[in-house]
């Protein structure tokens, strides 16, 4: 069953001085699946993303990305090369768009590496090479494709900073997809969204999964998103994996309920908390 694996994390440990933020974590994420990483605040979710995307060099462990042209060891790649060479793209908990640029410009700038390669990294290349003009045209086509996909085509010339919050979140996802990643890491994409926007986000992420066939890794606190769209859920608590399985089994796991709520007995949980976890209070 290794053919479908997009990412394999083996024995990942990340220490900050005496603090063990990630403790011997292993899991796989598959192509064409949404894998959610959930857990209480401080469980280590963002640290996993930071190791995968080169912000941190792991203390121990192996991170293998199965890109189209073969396996890549992310922990051995210089951080800034990971998006370009290894095809890992991410969005952030706090939106990080170029707010002074237009919506379209944000998507073209994201393809800067591809354009620079086409210019052969020279001024002469920028002005003379036919392949640069071709690459520029392709970058615009890619940008238009993703603008349509996230429903922002009409706002292409708006300043990104003037978009409503939910649209800025969708633009961030479009920008990440413009680099044609093998793995898309989404850090709390539903944060701050209203229920309608959350529902639209679900549709968008499912369509990226189904149409692009890439692996999606999702950190999310909004259980209405996690339980509806995830194929596979990993639960962390104090840096350790405490559950790993499909959403149905994970949400009933007593260890998960205890970790989230700090309760000893799940049958003592108040009904409104059970409802938040999408569990039947009368079960
Ligand atoms: N650069 C750092 N230096 C020191 N400690 C850090 C650093 N980054 C993260 N930590 C610590 O590692 C632990 C895990 O943090 P992390 O941000 O990964 O958790 P999280 O699960 O993403 O939390 P949240 O849901 O609140 O975003 C926390 O105790 C945090 O304080």
Asked if 8 contacts 23 with a C-beta cutoff of 8 angstroms, the reply is no
Residues 66 and 92: their CA atoms lie apart, in Å, by 23
- Taking the centre of ligand 1 as the mean of its atom positions, its distance from the CA of residue 253, in whole angstroms, is 24
What's the confidence (pLDDT) of residue 108? 85
Please, is 226 exposed, middle or buried when counting C-beta atoms within 10 Å of its C-beta (0-12, 13-18, 19+)? Answer: buried
Asked if 187 contacts 219 with a C-beta cutoff of 8 angstroms, the reply is yes
Residues 175 and 165: their CA atoms lie apart, in Å, by 15
Domain ranges of the chain: 1-87+181-283, 96-179
DSSP state, 281?
Answer: T
User: What is the enclosing helix (H) or strand (E) of 72?
Assistant: strand 70-73
**Pocket flag, ligand 1, residue 55 (CB < 6 Å):** no
Name the 3-class secondary structure at 14.
strand
Mutate to test the pocket of ligand 1, among 12, 15, 19, 59 (most ligand atoms within 8 A of CB): 19
Residues 246 and 228: their CA atoms lie apart, in Å, by 11
Ligand 1 atom with the smallest distance to the CA of 93 is: 27
Ligand 1 atom with the smallest distance to the CA of 16 is: 4
**Pocket flag, ligand 1, residue 94 (CB < 6 Å):** no
Name the 3-class secondary structure at 270.
coil
Q: Going by DSSP bridges, is the β-strand pair 240-245/232-237 parallel, antiparallel, or unpaired?
A: antiparallel
Q: Tens place of pLDDT for every residue, the chain, 283 residues?
A: 457 999 999 999 999 999 999 999 999 999 999 999 999 989 999 999 999 988 899 999 999 999 877 888 888 777 656 656 668 888 887 778 888 889 999 998 877 766 666 555 566 565 666 667 777 788 889 999 999 999 999 999 999 999 999 999 999 999 999 988 999 999 999 998 998 999 999 999 999 999 999 999 999 988 888 889 999 999 999 999 999 999 999 988 988 888 876 654 444 555 655 665 666 555 5
What are the DSSP calls for 123-173, one per residue?
HHHHHH-HHHHHHHHHHHHHHHHHHHHTT-GGGTTSBGGGS-HHHHHHHHH
CATH 3.40.50.300 fits 1-87+181-283, yes or no: yes
* CA nearest neighbour of 7 among 78, 87, 77: 87
What's the confidence (pLDDT) of residue 81? 62
Positive or negative: CA dihedral 208, 242, 250, 9:
positive
ipTM, interface predicted TM-score of the complex: 0.96
**Pocket flag, ligand 1, residue 22 (CB < 6 Å):** no
């Amino acid at each position: 069953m290794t053919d479908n694996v997009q990412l394999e994390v083996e024995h990942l440990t990340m220490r900050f001085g005496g603090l063990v933020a990630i403790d011997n974590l292993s899991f796989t994420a598959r192509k064409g699946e949404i894998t959610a990483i959930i857990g209480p605040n401080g469980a280590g979710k963002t640290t996993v993303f930071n190791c995968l995307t080169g912000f941190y060099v792991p203390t121990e462990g192996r991170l293998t990305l199965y890109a189209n042209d073969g396996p890549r060891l992310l922990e051995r790649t210089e951080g800034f090369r990971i998006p370009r060479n290894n095809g890992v793209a991410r969005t952030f908990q706090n939106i990080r768009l170029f707010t002074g640029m237009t919506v379209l410009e944000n998507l073209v700038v994201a393809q800067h590496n591809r354009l620079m390669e086409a210019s052969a990294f020279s001024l002469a290349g920028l002005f003379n090479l036919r392949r640069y003009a071709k690459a520029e045209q392709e970058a615009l086509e890619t940008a238009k494709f993703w603008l349509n996909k996230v429903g922002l085509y009409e706002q292409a010339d708006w300043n990104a900073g003037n978009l409503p919050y939910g649209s800025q979140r969708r633009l961030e996802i479009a920008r990440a997809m413009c680099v044609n990643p093998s793995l898309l890491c989404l850090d709390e994409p539903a944060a701050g969204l209203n229920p309608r926007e959350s529902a639209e986000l679900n549709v968008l992420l499912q369509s990226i999964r189904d149409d692009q066939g890439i692996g999606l890794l999702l950190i999310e606190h909004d259980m209405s998103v996690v339980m509806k769209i995830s194929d596979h859920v990993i639960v962390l608590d104090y840096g350790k994996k405490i559950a790993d399985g499909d959403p149905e089994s994970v949400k009933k796991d007593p260890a998960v309920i205890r970790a989230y709520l700090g309760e000893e007995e799940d049958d003592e949980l108040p009904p409104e908390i059970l409802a938040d976890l999408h569990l039947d209070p009368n079960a």
